[in-house]
Amino acid sequence: KEEEIAAGAEIKADLPIVYEDEAMLVVDKPAGLALHGGSGLSFGVIEALRRQRPQARFLELAHRLDRETSGLLLVGKKRSALTVLHDMFREGGQGRGADKRYLLLVLGRWMDPVRNVRLPLHKYLLESGERRVRVASDGKPSHTIFRLVARWERFSLLEAELRTGRTHQIRVHCAHLGFPIAGDEKYGDFTLNRTLPKEGLKRMFLHAWKMRLPHPASGEVMAL
Is 169 in contact with 65 (CB distance < 8 Å)? no
Q: Which of 222, 188, 204, 219 is nearest to 71 (CA)?
A: 204
- Rounded alpha-carbon distances, angstroms, from residue 8 to 18, 69, 71, 209: 21, 16, 18, 23
What is the distance between the alpha carbons of residues 69 and 23, in angstroms, rounded to a whole number? 25
DSSP state of 145: E
Identify the active-site residue in 28, 66, 138, 184.
66
The two beta strands, 155-162 and 70-76, are unpaired
138 noted as active-site residue: no
For the annotated catalytic residues, the residue numbers are 66
